[in-house]
Structure 1
């Protein structure tokens, strides 16, 4: 139960950090009180009334009044830039420490491909007599 709660909370905190640093904009197009179009990633399409405008003055006057009631609303959410690390002000000592740490950390996990047995080519000494049986010493 405790592990599940910790996993859920760590996921929630990661999402909070992600969404607090992310910037986005929401574009909406209203004609009167009605939402005609909205977009999260690209610009919204304006009214199609511009393409339908005719040459008669009566229709133009009516279209102009309808065009005045259309509005575009853009909501912009700026993310935080506090988490951005600047490497312009790093000193030589800090740079040397980071380079040596990374080099030693990478070489730490560099393993040997095969297990080396130093006495592989040598034969064991000949067994002339069994010393443990002669001395009657047994490991229990």
Structure 2
């Protein structure tokens, strides 16, 4: 039961964490703009990725040269570059550890020697009679 549970849950967790990490990288690099339109001290509209809708008072303000409306724009900047490290950026001890780890991991998968099976070409003798039926001895 436990082995069945582990065989079912492990692929699900693997896919879930992979998707979560991919989304984390995606959202950390995306930039977006939040625009708010205020008429006096009252928030009229909030828009994401587009311009906020203007209120009717702003049309009158343009004609009378008064300003009580204002637009506030918040820009959330994502990362421009992700950091890529090379092998040369590591310290000598880290390079040595990484090289020995990779070498030992690769050597785990050496092929097994060919096993000698002495009875591989042996064919069983032809049965003349079925001995179990002949003697009425059956395993139950």
TM range (shorter): 0.3 to 0.5
Q: Which has the higher helix share?
A: 2
Q: Which one has more relative contact order, counting CA pairs under 8 Å at least 6 apart?
A: 1
TM-score of the two chains, using structure 2 as the length reference: 0.46
